[in-house]
Protein backbone atom coordinates (compact mmCIF):
# COMPACT_ATOMS: atom_id res chain seq x y z
CA UNK A 1 0.00 0.00 0.00
CA UNK A 2 0.92 3.66 -0.24
CA UNK A 3 1.44 3.89 3.52
CA UNK A 4 3.85 0.95 3.51
CA UNK A 5 5.81 2.51 0.62
CA UNK A 6 6.18 5.82 2.43
CA UNK A 7 7.21 4.01 5.61
CA UNK A 8 9.84 2.01 3.70
CA UNK A 9 11.24 5.17 2.05
CA UNK A 10 11.43 6.91 5.41
CA UNK A 11 13.23 3.93 6.89
CA UNK A 12 15.64 3.91 3.92
CA UNK A 13 16.38 7.61 4.27
CA UNK A 14 17.01 7.19 8.00
CA UNK A 15 19.33 4.25 7.37
CA UNK A 16 21.21 6.19 4.65
CA UNK A 17 21.66 9.09 7.05
CA UNK A 18 23.02 6.71 9.67
CA UNK A 19 25.46 5.25 7.09
CA UNK A 20 26.63 8.74 6.12
CA UNK A 21 27.08 9.64 9.78
CA UNK A 22 29.01 6.42 10.38
CA UNK A 23 31.27 7.16 7.40
CA UNK A 24 31.99 10.61 8.80
CA UNK A 25 32.88 9.06 12.13
CA UNK A 26 35.22 6.59 10.37
CA UNK A 27 36.93 9.41 8.48
CA UNK A 28 37.31 11.43 11.69
CA UNK A 29 38.73 8.41 13.50
CA UNK A 30 41.12 7.79 10.61
CA UNK A 31 42.34 11.38 10.82
CA UNK A 32 42.82 11.11 14.57
CA UNK A 33 44.66 7.82 14.10
CA UNK A 34 46.96 9.55 11.63
CA UNK A 35 47.94 12.01 14.35
CA UNK A 36 49.39 9.11 16.34
CA UNK A 37 51.91 8.32 13.59
CA UNK A 38 54.75 10.79 13.17
CA UNK A 39 56.63 10.66 9.87
CA UNK A 40 59.93 12.47 9.32
CA UNK A 41 59.94 14.80 6.29
CA UNK A 42 63.47 13.66 5.35
CA UNK A 43 65.50 10.47 5.32
CA UNK A 44 68.40 10.20 7.72
CA UNK A 45 69.63 9.01 11.07
CA UNK A 46 67.46 9.27 14.18
CA UNK A 47 69.03 10.68 17.30
CA UNK A 48 68.25 9.96 20.94
CA UNK A 49 64.54 9.64 21.83
CA UNK A 50 63.96 11.13 25.31
CA UNK A 51 60.33 9.95 25.64
CA UNK A 52 59.03 6.53 26.66
CA UNK A 53 56.06 4.66 25.20
CA UNK A 54 52.88 6.19 26.57
CA UNK A 55 54.32 9.67 27.16
CA UNK A 56 51.91 12.48 26.37
CA UNK A 57 53.29 14.85 23.74
CA UNK A 58 51.75 17.64 21.75
CA UNK A 59 52.38 20.94 20.02
CA UNK A 60 53.14 22.60 23.35
CA UNK A 61 55.81 20.04 24.31
CA UNK A 62 59.04 22.10 24.57
CA UNK A 63 61.40 19.22 23.83
CA UNK A 64 61.61 17.67 20.38
CA UNK A 65 60.78 13.98 20.03
CA UNK A 66 64.16 13.43 18.37
CA UNK A 67 66.50 14.91 15.79
CA UNK A 68 66.72 13.41 12.31
CA UNK A 69 69.94 14.14 10.43
CA UNK A 70 69.81 13.92 6.65
CA UNK A 71 73.35 12.99 5.63
CA UNK A 72 73.09 12.08 1.95
CA UNK A 73 74.75 15.42 1.37
CA UNK A 74 76.57 17.24 4.14
CA UNK A 75 77.73 20.82 4.45
CA UNK A 76 81.13 21.79 5.77
CA UNK A 77 81.35 25.30 7.18
CA UNK A 78 84.73 27.00 7.39
CA UNK A 79 85.95 30.54 7.94
CA UNK A 80 88.59 32.93 6.63
CA UNK A 81 90.10 35.78 8.57
CA UNK A 82 89.79 39.17 6.93
CA UNK A 83 93.41 38.95 5.79
CA UNK A 84 92.94 35.46 4.32
CA UNK A 85 89.70 36.50 2.63
CA UNK A 86 91.39 39.44 0.92
CA UNK A 87 94.21 37.14 -0.16
CA UNK A 88 91.63 34.67 -1.48
CA UNK A 89 89.91 37.40 -3.49
CA UNK A 90 93.23 38.25 -5.20
CA UNK A 91 94.32 34.67 -5.89
CA UNK A 92 91.39 33.33 -7.90
CA UNK A 93 89.89 34.49 -11.18
CA UNK A 94 86.57 36.30 -11.33
CA UNK A 95 85.22 39.83 -11.18
CA UNK A 96 83.04 39.11 -8.14
CA UNK A 97 83.25 36.76 -5.18
CA UNK A 98 80.38 34.75 -6.65
CA UNK A 99 82.32 34.29 -9.89
CA UNK A 100 85.45 33.29 -7.97
CA UNK A 101 83.48 30.66 -6.04
CA UNK A 102 81.87 29.40 -9.24
CA UNK A 103 85.27 28.78 -10.83
CA UNK A 104 86.93 27.33 -7.74
CA UNK A 105 88.30 23.79 -8.13
CA UNK A 106 86.83 20.98 -6.08
CA UNK A 107 87.93 21.01 -2.45
CA UNK A 108 89.12 18.28 -0.10
CA UNK A 109 87.96 17.51 3.42
CA UNK A 110 90.73 16.63 5.87
CA UNK A 111 89.08 14.63 8.64
CA UNK A 112 89.87 14.61 12.35
CA UNK A 113 92.34 11.72 11.98
CA UNK A 114 94.15 13.60 9.16
CA UNK A 115 92.79 11.20 6.53
CA UNK A 116 91.30 12.64 3.34
CA UNK A 117 87.59 12.13 2.75
CA UNK A 118 87.40 10.14 -0.51
CA UNK A 119 84.80 12.37 -2.20
CA UNK A 120 85.68 15.91 -3.19
CA UNK A 121 83.27 18.76 -2.53
CA UNK A 122 82.33 22.11 -3.97
CA UNK A 123 82.29 25.53 -2.31
CA UNK A 124 78.76 26.88 -2.75
CA UNK A 125 78.24 30.05 -0.74
CA UNK A 126 79.94 32.71 1.33
CA UNK A 127 78.42 34.82 4.09
CA UNK A 128 77.50 38.41 3.35
CA UNK A 129 79.37 39.90 6.30
CA UNK A 130 82.09 39.25 8.84
CA UNK A 131 81.34 37.79 12.25
CA UNK A 132 81.69 40.68 14.70
CA UNK A 133 82.98 38.44 17.50
CA UNK A 134 85.56 36.39 15.60
CA UNK A 135 86.37 38.78 12.75
CA UNK A 136 85.97 35.95 10.22
CA UNK A 137 83.74 35.31 7.23
CA UNK A 138 82.11 31.91 6.67
CA UNK A 139 82.02 29.68 3.60
CA UNK A 140 79.96 26.56 2.93
CA UNK A 141 81.11 23.55 0.94
CA UNK A 142 78.89 20.58 -0.01
CA UNK A 143 80.06 16.96 -0.01
CA UNK A 144 78.16 13.90 -1.23
CA UNK A 145 77.89 11.31 1.55
CA UNK A 146 76.29 8.24 -0.01
CA UNK A 147 78.24 5.84 2.22
CA UNK A 148 77.21 7.70 5.38
CA UNK A 149 80.78 8.18 6.62
CA UNK A 150 80.11 11.76 7.67
CA UNK A 151 77.75 12.78 10.44
CA UNK A 152 76.30 16.05 11.63
CA UNK A 153 78.84 17.63 13.98
CA UNK A 154 81.97 16.15 12.37
CA UNK A 155 85.09 18.30 12.58
CA UNK A 156 87.83 18.67 10.00
CA UNK A 157 89.51 21.10 7.63
CA UNK A 158 88.57 22.14 4.11
CA UNK A 159 91.52 22.28 1.74
CA UNK A 160 91.24 24.49 -1.37
CA UNK A 161 93.79 23.48 -4.04
CA UNK A 162 95.76 26.15 -5.81
CA UNK A 163 98.37 25.92 -8.56
CA UNK A 164 101.61 27.62 -7.50
CA UNK A 165 104.36 28.30 -10.01
CA UNK A 166 107.95 29.27 -9.21
CA UNK A 167 107.50 29.01 -5.46
CA UNK A 168 110.02 27.98 -2.82
CA UNK A 169 109.23 25.59 0.03
CA UNK A 170 110.40 26.83 3.43
CA UNK A 171 109.93 24.91 6.70
CA UNK A 172 108.10 26.96 9.31
CA UNK A 173 110.80 26.18 11.89
CA UNK A 174 113.22 28.23 9.77
CA UNK A 175 111.06 31.37 9.98
CA UNK A 176 110.24 34.00 12.56
CA UNK A 177 107.67 36.78 12.68
CA UNK A 178 108.23 40.45 13.32
CA UNK A 179 105.63 43.19 12.90
CA UNK A 180 103.24 40.79 11.15
CA UNK A 181 105.88 39.82 8.58
CA UNK A 182 107.62 36.48 8.12
CA UNK A 183 111.42 36.38 7.93
CA UNK A 184 114.25 33.88 7.46
CA UNK A 185 117.98 34.22 8.06
CA UNK A 186 119.78 33.98 4.73
CA UNK A 187 123.42 32.83 4.73
CA UNK A 188 125.91 34.65 2.49
CA UNK A 189 129.01 33.18 0.83
CA UNK A 190 131.03 34.40 3.83
CA UNK A 191 128.61 32.59 6.19
CA UNK A 192 127.20 35.87 7.50
CA UNK A 193 123.46 35.84 8.21
CA UNK A 194 120.92 38.53 7.44
CA UNK A 195 117.15 38.60 7.94
CA UNK A 196 115.09 38.51 4.76
CA UNK A 197 111.32 39.17 4.58
CA UNK A 198 109.24 36.60 2.71
CA UNK A 199 106.04 36.87 0.73
CA UNK A 200 104.12 33.74 1.66
CA UNK A 201 101.48 32.62 -0.83
CA UNK A 202 100.25 29.46 0.91
CA UNK A 203 100.88 27.08 3.77
CA UNK A 204 100.60 23.32 4.01
CA UNK A 205 101.49 21.24 7.01
CA UNK A 206 104.74 22.56 8.46
CA UNK A 207 105.82 24.37 5.30
CA UNK A 208 105.37 27.79 3.71
CA UNK A 209 105.18 28.37 -0.04
CA UNK A 210 107.16 31.53 -0.79
CA UNK A 211 106.67 33.68 -3.89
CA UNK A 212 109.17 36.46 -3.20
CA UNK A 213 112.17 36.98 -0.94
CA UNK A 214 114.35 34.05 -1.97
CA UNK A 215 116.28 33.09 -5.10
CA UNK A 216 117.46 29.82 -6.55
CA UNK A 217 120.51 28.60 -4.64
CA UNK A 218 119.95 30.75 -1.52
CA UNK A 219 120.87 29.16 1.79
CA UNK A 220 118.79 29.74 4.92
CA UNK A 221 119.20 28.80 8.57
CA UNK A 222 116.94 25.92 9.59
CA UNK A 223 117.77 25.43 13.29
CA UNK A 224 118.93 27.79 16.02
CA UNK A 225 117.42 30.96 14.61
CA UNK A 226 116.43 32.16 18.10
CA UNK A 227 120.13 32.71 18.90
CA UNK A 228 120.97 34.71 15.77
CA UNK A 229 121.17 38.40 14.97
CA UNK A 230 121.78 40.23 11.70
CA UNK A 231 125.46 40.19 10.81
CA UNK A 232 126.36 37.13 12.87
CA UNK A 233 128.89 34.76 11.34
CA UNK A 234 128.10 31.06 11.65
CA UNK A 235 129.61 27.71 10.77
CA UNK A 236 126.75 26.07 8.87
CA UNK A 237 126.23 22.33 8.65
CA UNK A 238 124.53 21.54 5.33
CA UNK A 239 121.10 19.93 5.48
CA UNK A 240 119.16 19.56 2.24
CA UNK A 241 115.46 20.22 1.81
CA UNK A 242 115.11 16.81 0.16
CA UNK A 243 116.28 15.15 3.38
CA UNK A 244 113.80 17.19 5.39
CA UNK A 245 110.94 16.32 3.05
CA UNK A 246 111.73 12.62 3.37
CA UNK A 247 111.43 12.78 7.14
CA UNK A 248 108.57 15.29 7.18
CA UNK A 249 106.64 15.11 3.90
CA UNK A 250 104.18 17.74 2.76
Does 43 map to a domain? Answer: no
d(CA 83, CA 203): 14
- Given a contact cutoff of 8 angstroms between Cβ atoms, the answer to whether 132 and 98 are in contact is no
Q: Residue 196 is inside which H or E element, if any? A: strand 193-204
Q: 180 and 219: one domain? A: yes
Q: 99 and 132: one domain? A: yes
pLDDT in tens, the chain (250 residues): 788 888 888 888 888 889 999 999 999 999 888 877 778 877 777 888 888 888 888 778 888 888 887 788 999 999 999 988 888 888 888 889 889 898 889 999 999 998 999 999 999 999 989 999 999 999 999 999 988 899 888 999 999 887 777 889 999 999 999 988 999 999 999 999 999 999 988 888 889 999 899 999 999 999 999 999 999 999 999 999 888 888 888 7
Please give the residue range of the domain that contains residue 112: 72-159
Q: Residue 28 is inside which H or E element, if any? A: helix 2-34
Does 62 map to a domain? Answer: no
Q: 182 and 136: one domain? A: no
Question: Model pTM greater than 0.85?
Answer: no
Q: Is 209 helix (H, G, I), strand (E, B) or coil?
A: strand
Q: 190 and 143: one domain? A: no
Q: 151 and 206: one domain? A: no
Does 135 map to a domain? Answer: yes
Phi, psi of 55 (to 5 degrees): -65, 140
Q: 25 and 104: one domain? A: no
Q: Identify the CA nearest to 219 among candidates 194, 174, 187.
A: 187
- Number of domains observed in the structure of the chain: 3
Measured in whole angstroms, the distance separating CA 244 from the mean position of its chain's CA atoms is 31
Amino acid sequence: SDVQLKTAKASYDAAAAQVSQARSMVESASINLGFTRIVAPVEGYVGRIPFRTGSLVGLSTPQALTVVSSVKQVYAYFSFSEKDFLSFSHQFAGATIEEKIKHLPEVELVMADESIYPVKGKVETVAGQYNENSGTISFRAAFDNKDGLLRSGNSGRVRIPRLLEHSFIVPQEATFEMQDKIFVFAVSDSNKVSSVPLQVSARRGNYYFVENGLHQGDRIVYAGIDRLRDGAVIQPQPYSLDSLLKSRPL
